[in-house]
Each structure stands twice: as C-alpha cells, then as structure tokens.
Amino acid sequence: MEAQQILSRFCPKPSSLLLPSHKKLHTLPCVGLKNLGIQRLGCSYTEGKKKRVFCVRRTIGEEAAEVKVGATMPARRKKLAVFVSGGGSNFKSIHEASLKGLLHGDVLVLVTNKHDCGGAEYARNNGIPVVLFPKVKDGSDGLSPSELVDTLRSFQVDFILLAGFLKLIPVELIQAYEKSILNIHPSLLPAFGGKGYYGLKVHKAVIASGARYSGPTIHFVDEHYDTGRILAQRAVPVLANDTAEELASRVLKEEHRLYVEVVEALCEERIVWREDGVPLIRSKDNPNEFC
C-alpha cells in the first residue's frame, strides 16, 4: 500500500508497476520533474529476462522523500574529440582533468584547421592523434566532411567539444552527432556572438557596449555560428577601467572551470532535455535540482 502511494507521486500509472523489496536497482539516466516538463525515466531491475521500470522514494529520518536517480557512475568512459584552431587552453584543461580522474571520459583525437597551432603541438606531445580539417584548397592535406565523420566514428567518439575552433561545423557532422557537439564562446550569448565575434574582438565589443557583465557560454552546436541551445553560462563583472586583455583573462579562467564542469556532467549523463528543447544539467549532489 505504501509502495503504491509512493509511486503515485512520480509515475503516471502506479498500479501497473511493481516495486520489489529485494531486487537490485540499476539507475537509468534521469527522473524528470513534471513542473519542468523533463522526460520521465526511472530506475529498473532485472528479473530473469524481464526488465521492469519503477520509481522509488526513500526516507532518511523525518526528511522529505526524494527520487532515487543517478546513484552510480555510467560504466563506460566516454570518448571525446576536441576541435581547436589556436593555443587550445580549454583543450588542455579538459585533458588534464581527464588525466586527474575528474572526468569519466578521455580525449581520443584532436581536430584542427591549423596543424602547427599550440593545441596541435600539445596533442602530439601527449600522444593524441591530430586530424586536419577542413581539406586545404588545391592540396591533398585535410579531410572532407564525410571523411571527418568516418574518422570520428573509427575512434568511436561519443561527444565533440569545440574549444576555439573558428571554422563553421558542416551539416554532415551535425547530423551525425545530433545533440552531441558543444562549443564555448567568451560572451554571454546571445549577446556578442555570431560570425566574426571571436577572441579579443568579443571583449572589445563588450566593453564598448557598456555591458556590466560578460562571461563564457557553453552551447550545443547547430548549423550557424553561436546560435545553438545554451547549456551553461557564468557571469564575469566588467570593471570600469577594463581593457580587452584584462577582461579576456578573467573570462578565460571561468571558461576553464565551466567547460570542465560541463564535460563532467556530459560524461556522467547528467544532461537532460526539457520538453521545450532547453537542455539542463542535473545536479550531481541533488538529482532533483538543475542548473
């Protein structure tokens, strides 16, 4: 009876579900909250060849009940590809976090349009394969979009992370990795984004506008520059006497922190999509909270 009352709070038809007291739980990606319009999943257990799904509430003392979700780390480490055009400081931060065990994923390949850039040099020094894209005009070097897709699939890449990659991502790649490509931009999008807004140009425009805050944005990638769904942002104050270089330095520090946090959530399958298409990050400490 108590089980049915618990289920009635989280499941549409609790009478059709079974809540065993002795079966082992297997966590699924998430349990959504109805008022956020997030897709509802739950926990499951296996009995013979049958797999049943249910929701469960646990009580600690007299504290409020909560939904059991995400209690275990995904078994398989995620395989990452990073795209860069320059020094690749965000790439380095992500790779170092992976080596330290802060991410449940590994950088398997670096893609760049500049084979001699700092990011490519770092990758080669750390034994990470470097792929040149796009194909150079009137040359044999570089891959076509279809060849790039095939190459990433050969590495079994799960997610693509753009970290200062200045070329537009081809439609073939976006279709092959739907909702699996992230980009970081050094302003609070949708302000100061789009073609031509990169590097110090962004920070100069922010200061000239009189904006009081700037900061990094991480968003999913679509067919255009900086227009994909926003996943995470972090505000950085713009000081009265800031130069573009000073503002860029403070924003970059936050980029390094934010990108690692987001990739951590990505590898732990804590990204959920609201019914209106807005992506959210489920809290690691409290699965019922989102950021």
Task: Tell me the catalytic residues.
Answer: 185
Local structure of 281: helix, strand or coil = strand
Rounded Cα distance, 163 and 113, in Å: 12
Residue 114's alpha-carbon distances to 57, 149, 229, 254, in angstroms, are: 53, 19, 27, 25
Largest Cα–Cα separation, the chain: 74
Rounded Cα distance, 277 and 102, in Å: 28
Half-sphere exposure of 278 (CA within 13 A, CB side): 9
φ, ψ at 83 (rounded to 5°): -110, 130
Per 3-state DSSP, the chain is made up of helix, strand and coil in percentages (nearest 5) of: 30, 20, 50
Local structure of 21: helix, strand or coil = coil
Contact 158, 265 (CB under 8 A): no
Contact 25, 68 (CB under 8 A): yes
The two structure tokens encoding residue 13? 């038809």
The two structure tokens encoding residue 114? 């500049």
Cα dihedral 260, 218, 269, 105 in deg (nearest 10): -40
Which residues have CB under 8 Å from 245's CB, separation 6+? 200, 203
Question: 233 - beta bridge partners?
Answer: 217
